Amino acid sequence: MLELVAEHHVLTTEQLRALVFPSMSRAQHRLLHLADLGVLWRTQPYRADGGSKPFHYLLGYRGAELRAAQDGTSPPRPSTHADRLRRILESPRLGHLLGVNQFFAELADYSRRAGLGGFAADERDFGREGLHTWRSEESITEFYGNKITPDGYGCWHENGRWLGFFLEHDTGTEPLRRVADKIDRYTGSGKPYTDRFDVARRLAGMVLIWTTSARREQGLRKALQAKYSPVPVATASREHGHLDGPAGEVWSVVTAVPEQARRVRLGELPTVIGGTTDDGTPRVLAELATRPPSPLDDDDDDEGAYLDGVTDEMREANRRGLDVGDIVLTDPDLDEDTTSHRTPTRQPWQRWRRPA
């Protein structure tokens, strides 16, 4: 639990109950005890319209000392730690952060209610289903060298299928075009004379966009359909109000043909996007990662300004709205190429503890 609070900064009583405890009474009793010990620090902000919000729990100074001892590092100074807590609570992004944490807490809550397994169990238990991994924005940004900045990363396991996903939590405050443009970061750097899909080749998941309303989702999907990206993207709206929350039948994969879109459960997305590998990577990205970048063209158009690892077949499939699983990656200059060009890296879901 200390790792959860430390990595995700602030969690409410209900969120911690969903993530760690079997009941609310157990959660309240244990959290109060840890707060009294100074392991956790809690506050209950007031609502602008009256009343109080739920208790917010952050890492207390004793908790920071415990984590420093585990990591073999020096603990922060008390004043430094206090400044960190104040920055978190006074941040204009606090509501957004709590919304991201709520998304993953609801997935963990469904996992427990459905008998799939508790999230806080040993991450090495690969037989356990439900929410298997949750990484923060800072952790994933560091892992991918600041090339992408998702709001979080998770790995879901259900019916023998794994799904890695990067969450974009939309609060409705940004123009739809700006939200849609975030997908460009998951494809490549966008720099001329570089591999156009240098980022997509390394991704260990698809992109999920969790937005505020059905109307906003509809507008966002139109903006996304005008883009081309090999990275599978699915959208859902909190307005759908499914009893199973984001684990329910609320997700729709973006395709070039809107009429083909349908709502599926989170655990069904691997099938819709053409399958995933054992680490949750969409197969279309795993196949992309095995292809070497094509040499630069001699043309003067924009296409020749990039090293392109995806061929015309994939572009045409995207335009025609084919399922990702129907796309066959080929190279017109090679009959067969079975050599993997992907640099082996540890997957983000394998990094629970911070590096020393």
pLDDT digits (tens, 9 = 90+) for 85-143: 999 999 999 999 999 999 999 999 999 998 887 775 555 566 678 999 999 999 999 99
pLDDT digits (tens, 9 = 90+) for 320-339: 444 444 434 333 333 333 33
User: Would you list the DSSP string of 28-53?
Assistant: HHHHHHHHHHTSEEEE-PBPTTSSBP
Residue 82 pLDDT more than 50?
yes
Please tell me the distance from the alpha carbon of residue 100 to that of residue 152, in angstroms, as a whole number. 7
Q: What is the pLDDT of residue 228?
A: 79
Q: What is the pLDDT of residue 23?
A: 93
For domain 1-91, the CATH architecture is: Orthogonal Bundle (1.10)
Q: Which strand (E) or helix (H) includes residue 66?
A: helix 61-71
DSSP for residue 300 = S
Q: What pTM, to 2 d.p., does this model score?
A: 0.82
Mean pLDDT of all residues in 180-206 = 82
Please tell me the distance from the alpha carbon of residue 355 to that of residue 352, in angstroms, as a whole number. 9
Which residues 6+ apart lie within 8 Å of 89 measured at CB? 10, 43, 45, 56, 58
Please tell me the distance from the alpha carbon of residue 215 to that of residue 211, in angstroms, as a whole number. 10
Domain-wise residue ranges, the chain: 1-91, 93-356
Q: What is the pLDDT of residue 53?
A: 87
Please tell me the distance from the alpha carbon of residue 159 to that of residue 69, in angstroms, as a whole number. 39
Residue 195 pLDDT more than 80?
no
Residue 219 pLDDT more than 70?
yes
Mean pLDDT of all residues in 56-68 = 96
Q: What is the pLDDT of residue 193?
A: 56
Mean pLDDT of all residues in 193-218 = 89
Instruction: Give the mean pLDDT of the chain.
Output: 82
